[in-house]
Structure 1
Amino acid sequence: MDKELIISETIEKYEKYINPAIARLFRFMGLATIEWQAEGDIIRDIDGKEYIDCLGGYGVFSLGHRHPKVIEAVKKQLDYMPLSSKVLFNKPMADLSEILAKITPGDLQYSFIGNSGAEAVEGAIKLARVYTGREKVIATANAFHGKTMGALSATGRDVFSRPFRPLLSGFSHVSFGDFSELEKVVDENTAAVILEPIQGEGGIIVPPQDYFAKVRALCDKLGVVLICDEVQTGLGRTGKMFAVDHYGVVPDIITTAKSLGGGVMPIGAFTARPHLWDKYIESPFLHTSTFGGNPLACTAAIAAIEAIIEEKLAEKADQTGRYFIDELNKIQKQFPAVVKEMRGKGLMIGVELTKEGIGGFLMSELIAQGVLVAYTLNNPNVIRIEPPLNISRDRVNKVVGAFRDAIEKANDMIDDF
C-alpha cells in the first residue's frame, strides 16, 4: 500500500469533488493525513500516528471509538434486519423508546426516532406548533440547533442563516441566560422556547443556576412548550444523564442525537410529555421518516445507553471533568494573557482565549503533539474539549501537558496575534 499516494489522491478528491476550502483548512491546521483506525480515546492516521481524541466528533464519541458492546450489538443485528419494512412492528425501536422514557426527566414518554440532531430539532418545533396552534418560537443568540431550514431558523448566528433567508417566520432570538430579556418577548402567541442547557457551539456557556427554573415557570404560566436541545449535552456529557438535571427542571420536549448512536450509528430522537402527543395520535403519519427508527441504529442506541449506565459514565464525566477543569485553571492563572477563562460541566469544557488568532495556533500546536481539539462553531475564541467520558486520568494528564506547552508558546508570542 502506497500511503503517500492514498493521501494525495484523497486530498485531491476533496478538492475536486467535496470542497477545496475544506482541503486547504485541513492542510493549514497540519492535518494533511487520513484518519485510518480508532479505538477508545485514540485515533490513528494512515501512518500510525496516534491522537488523543479531545473533540469526540463534537460530542458523538462519549463511549469512545468502537465500544465493544455497541459493535457486538450492531454486528448481531446485521444478521437479522438492518432496516425496517415500516409496515410491521419494529422491536428495537420499541425497546429504545421505552428506555428513553425511563432515562429522560420527569414524565417524558413518547419518542420519535430520526437520523440526526437537526431532524430531532425539526420534529420538536413541529410538535410544539401543532400542539399549541401558535407560530412564535423564541431561541437564543449564538445557539446552535442545526442547519436544516427549521433548525437553522432557531440557530442564533447570522453567518449561517443570512445566506438562506427568508427562513421560517415567527422565530426571534434573545440573549442566553438573561431571563428578563426572555420574559419580555414570551407571550400567549408563543409556541415554544428552545434552549440548550449549556450552549455548545456558542462557547460552552453555562447559564445562571436559577435560569431554567424561571423559564419553566414562565412557560407554564403562558402555556408555552419548553424544548431542551440535549443533542450535545445529553447522555452523561455534563456529569448528569441530561444537563437539565443540573437545574431540576422537566422540559416538555427533549432532543437527543450525537452520542445516542454509541459512536457507531447516526440516530436522533425527540421525546415529549404525553399530552403533547395528542395530535400525532389523532394523525400518526403527520411526521414520518423513511430511515428513522431503523433496527440497526436503534440497536446501537440501546447498547450505548446500557453502557453509559453500566459503566457509570455520567459519574465518571463529573469526576474527570472537575479534575480536568482544575488542572486547566492552573494554566489559566499562569498565562492570563493567553487564556481568559475555563468553564463547563463534566467533560464539556471550554477554554476561552484572549484573542481570536490564538485559537488556530493552539489547535496546530496540539495536533502536532497528538491531541485533537477544535474551536466552537459560533465562537472561535473558545477551544472545546469533549473527550470520551471514559478517558483515563493518564490521558487527561497528557492533554493538560500538551495544553501547557502550547499555551506557553502562545504566551511568548502574544503580541503577534
Structure 2
Amino acid sequence: MNPGAPETGLAEPHLAEILKTVSLDVEYVRAAGNHLFRLDDNGREVPVLDFVGGFGSVLLGHNDPEIVAYARKLLDKQLPIHAQFSRASHADRLAAALNEILRREHGDDERYFAIFANSGAEAVEAAVKHAELDRTLRVAALTDGIAANVEAARALVRAGRAVVADGAFDRAGVRERPQDPEAGFDALVAGIERHNAHRLSAPPLFLAPEGAFHGKLMGSVQLTHNEAFRAPFRSLAAQARFIPLDQPEAIRKTVDAERAVLYDVVVVDGSVTVVDRDFPVFCAFVLEPIQGEGGIHEVPPEFAREVRRTCDAIGCPVIVDEIQSGMGRTGSFLAAPAAGLRGDYYTLAKSLGGGVAKTSVALIRESHYHKEFELVHSSTFAKDGFSSLIALKVLELLEADGGALYRRAGELGRGLLAMLEAVRAEFPDVIKDVRGRGLMLGVEFHDRSDAEAPAVRDLARSGFLGYAVAGYLLREHAVRLFPTGSAVNTLRLEPSVRLTDDGIDQLRTALRGVCSVLRAEDGQRFLGGGPATS
C-alpha cells in the first residue's frame, strides 16, 4: 500500500469483484435524461442508454431540469431540513395531494393517512408495524372480552346458578375434575388460560405471493420470497406463507390450515361451556401489483379478487406495495386498480423523490388507522421539508396537462413491448418470454445450462448468465440493463419517460446482437473476445 494514499476496496469489495467479472464495473460521472455518462480512455464522455432507471427511481429521468432547478431554489433559500417534532405543513400538503389522486383512482372519498419514511423497505416496515399494532389491539379486545366472560360466569357459579358442563373439561384439556363447583370452574379456567397463553405467545404470520420482494431489512426480508435473501435471517422476524400466483384457491386453503382459536366461556341454561373465538393469526397480506425483483409478473385479477375476499373475511389488511409499479410507471398513478386490487395500505417510494430526494410513504386507510402509531414510530429523516416539497413537485409534473406523463409512459411501454415481442419472434430459441406493462417490462432468456459452449454453460449454471448478458449489452452497445435478483435470467426494463424512439431502436440492435451471439454459442465474443454481432 502506498504510504499516505487513502485505502481503497472497503466499500462492498466482494460485490465490486462480481461486477468486474461480468463487465459491469463502470463508474459514471454524469447523468441526464435517460442516459448515464462514463469516461473513455481519453477522458471523453461516453453516453450509456439507461434501462435500469435507478431500479425504478427515475421515472422522470436523471436530473430532470425542473426538479433540479426547484431543488436549488429550496436549498438557496435555506429551507429547514432538520426541524423534527414541529409542524410539517409541507408533508401535510403532500399527503393531501396523494389523497386527491387516490380518490380519483378509487372513485370514493375515503381518506388515507400518511406515515413518511426514507426508503421503500422502510415504508413497508412502517406499514407492517402499523398492521401489527392493529392486530395487537384486536387481540387485546378479544382477550378482554374473554376475561369479562370468565368473571361473569364465575359470579354465576359462586351464586349456585351455573355449573361446568361435563364436555367443557374435555375441551379445555382438564383431566382432574374437582367435585366442588367453584374448584371445578377454577380448573376449567386454568385449562383455558394454558391453551390461550400458548396461542398468544406465537408470532403473527404474513401472506405474500411467491416471487414477492419487499426489501431486505429485518422485517421486510421475511416478506421476500427469494430464500437466499430470507433464510439467513429467518429467526429475526415473523414468517410469511407464500402463495403461487396461479393458484388463488390456495389463499383460502392456507388461511384454513393456519386457523387458530382462543377458548372462551359462555353460560347457557345454567351450564358453563367452552366456545371458540377466532384468533387473528395473520398480520397482513403484502403484495406487489407487478412483481419487480421476482421477474416482472402481474398479479392476475382472479388472484387479486381472492386476496380481497379472503382478507375481508378474516379481518386481515391488504398492503399493496407500489414502490416500483406506482407513480405512473405503468400508465396510471397506481398499478393495482388494473387488477381490481384495493389496498388498505399503499407504499410508495423510488420515483416519489424525483431522482433527487430519498423519500417514501406508507398510506393507511382511515378505517384501519390508529393514531397511537404516531407516538410509537418515528424516523429522523422522514417528513422533512426538502423531500416533501420535491415529492409535491413530482406530483405536479405527473398530473400536468391531464396526466400527459401517464399517457406517455403507457404509449412508450406499448411501443417498447411491441419491439421486444418482435425480437422474441426472431429469436424464440433465445428469448423465452417478454411481459409487463408500461415502463416496467421483463425479458426472460431461456436457461442455457446445457449449452455446448463452456463459458455460456458455466455462467448459466452459476446463475450469472443474466449478468453476463447485461455486461455484453453495456460493453458492446452502451445499453445498461440488469437481471432481477430473484429471476436471474430475466432482464428488467424500467426506463424513464425521457426514452425516445432512437433509444428503443438502440435497444433493439443490442438485443439482436446478444441473441445472435447466444444462438451461435460464441463464448469468446459473449465474454468480450471478439467483435459484436448486430
- With normalisation by structure 2, the TM-score equals 0.72
Structure 1 residues 107-146: aligned runs within 5 Å: 107-133=110-136, 135-146=204-215
Q: Deviations over 1:306-352 (max 9, x none)?
A: 11222622211111111111111111111111110000011111101
**1:91/1:410 Cα in 2 relative to 1: closer, same or farther (>3 Å)?**
same
Who is 2:520 aligned against? 412
Q: Secondary structure at the match of 1:57?
A: helix
Q: 2:426 aligns with which of 319, 328, 334?
A: 334
Q: Deviations over 1:106-157 (max 9, x none)?
A: 3342011100001000011111111133622112222110111110111111
Who is 1:293 aligned against? 383
Q: Secondary structure at the match of 2:333?
A: coil
1:403 alignment partner AA: L
- Following the alignment from structure 1 to structure 2, what is the Cα–Cα distance between the partners of residues 108 and 28? 50
- Following the alignment from structure 1 to structure 2, what is the Cα–Cα distance between the partners of residues 283 and 202? 31
Contact 2:295 2:487 in 1 (8 A): yes
Q: 2:329 aligns with which of 230, 234, 237?
A: 237
Q: Secondary structure at the match of 2:307?
A: helix
Who is 1:77 aligned against? 74
Q: Deviations over 1:42-71 (max 9, x none)?
A: 110134111011000110111100112211
**1:46/1:151 Cα in 2 relative to 1: closer, same or farther (>3 Å)?**
same
**1:116/1:63 Cα in 2 relative to 1: closer, same or farther (>3 Å)?**
same
**1:177/1:262 Cα in 2 relative to 1: closer, same or farther (>3 Å)?**
farther
Q: Secondary structure at the match of 2:242?
A: strand
Who is 2:231 aligned against? 162
Q: Confirm or deny that 1:381 pairs with 2:489.
A: yes
- The alpha carbon displacement at 1:170 in A equals 4.3
Contact 2:120 2:215 in 1 (8 A): yes
Q: 1:403 aligns with which of 487, 511, 522?
A: 511
- Following the alignment from structure 2 to structure 1, what is the Cα–Cα distance between the partners of residues 80 and 445? 45
Gaps of at least 5 residues in structure 1 are 1-8
Who is 1:365 aligned against? 472
2:483 alignment partner AA: Y
Who is 1:181 aligned against? 250
Q: Confirm or deny that 1:305 pairs with 2:395.
A: yes
1:52 alignment partner AA: L
- Following the alignment from structure 1 to structure 2, what is the Cα–Cα distance between the partners of residues 283 and 215? 25
Who is 1:6 aligned against? none
Query: Taking every aligned residue pair, what percent have the same amino acid on both sides?
Result: 30
Who is 1:269 aligned against? 361
Contact 2:120 2:349 in 1 (8 A): yes
- The alpha carbon displacement at 1:90 in A equals 1.6
**1:182/1:51 Cα in 2 relative to 1: closer, same or farther (>3 Å)?**
same
Who is 1:29 aligned against? 22
Contact 1:350 1:383 in 2 (8 A): yes
Who is 1:92 aligned against? 90
- Following the alignment from structure 1 to structure 2, what is the Cα–Cα distance between the partners of residues 38 and 323? 24
Who is 1:248 aligned against? 340
- The alpha carbon displacement at 1:177 in A equals 4.3
**1:414/1:142 Cα in 2 relative to 1: closer, same or farther (>3 Å)?**
farther
Who is 1:5 aligned against? none
Who is 1:150 aligned against? 219
Aligned residues: 404
Q: Secondary structure at the match of 1:255?
A: strand
Contact 2:413 2:438 in 1 (8 A): yes
Pick the structure with greater CA Rg. Answer: 2
Q: Provide the aligned C-alpha RMSD in A.
A: 2.0
1:345 alignment partner AA: R
Contact 1:338 1:411 in 2 (8 A): yes
- The alpha carbon displacement at 1:283 in A equals 5.3
- Following the alignment from structure 1 to structure 2, what is the Cα–Cα distance between the partners of residues 76 and 415? 52
- Following the alignment from structure 1 to structure 2, what is the Cα–Cα distance between the partners of residues 389 and 211? 30
Gaps of at least 5 residues in structure 2 are 140-203, 260-279, 449-459, 527-534
- The alpha carbon displacement at 1:83 in A equals 1.4
Contact 1:316 1:390 in 2 (8 A): no
Q: 1:66 aligns with which of 59, 63, 67?
A: 63
**1:389/1:177 Cα in 2 relative to 1: closer, same or farther (>3 Å)?**
farther
- Following the alignment from structure 2 to structure 1, what is the Cα–Cα distance between the partners of residues 209 and 522? 33
Q: Deviations over 1:212-240 (max 9, x none)?
A: 12211221122110010111111111122
Contact 1:352 1:382 in 2 (8 A): yes
- Following the alignment from structure 1 to structure 2, what is the Cα–Cα distance between the partners of residues 291 and 271? 18
